[in-house]
Structure 1
Amino acid sequence: MAILTVVVLLALLTAFLDRTSVETRLVYAQRGAYGCPLFGMVCNSHCKKKHFNEGYCRGSGNGGCFCSGCKMPTKKGCK
């Protein structure tokens, strides 16, 4: 039982640290749908269409597509 508690706490801590590190560096994250096929070219193209400077993949398998460098920041996000 103690091992299960430790595993759950470590999982929650890892998720929290990952979320906060992403929020401090990046502006936008798109998970799932775009993923990272073709060495991240789909992700980068998606980010450019959303008016970001670049996009890169993070995670394993169908991981997240992260966009950074908003060209025109607004109160509602990136324009």
Structure 2
Amino acid sequence: MTKKTKDKELSFEEGLEKLEAIVEEMESGELNLDNLVKRYEAGSKLLVHCDKKISEAEAKIEILRNQDAENPEFENFDPDE
């Protein structure tokens, strides 16, 4: 399995975790210019991946919201449960 295939299978949380690690690595000041550019490129790809995952989730929520509007069912919500 290639790295590109693995990145496509990452969850939002996994992608965000990798992105945060890249940012920390870049901010450390220990990377030479070539590696800094490579990490920037990898981070940019992860950012696009995470943005896509968020967009997919928003689209699913909108579909569910529209379905609920047609057949509303209300339940008491207790955030402590």
**Do the two structures share a fold, i.e. TM-score over 0.5?**
no
Q: Which has the higher contact order (CA 8 A, sep 6+)?
A: 2
Bigger share in helix = 2
TM range (shorter): 0.3 to 0.5
Q: Considering only CA atoms, is the larger Rg found in Structure 1 or Structure 2?
A: 2
Bigger share in strand = 1
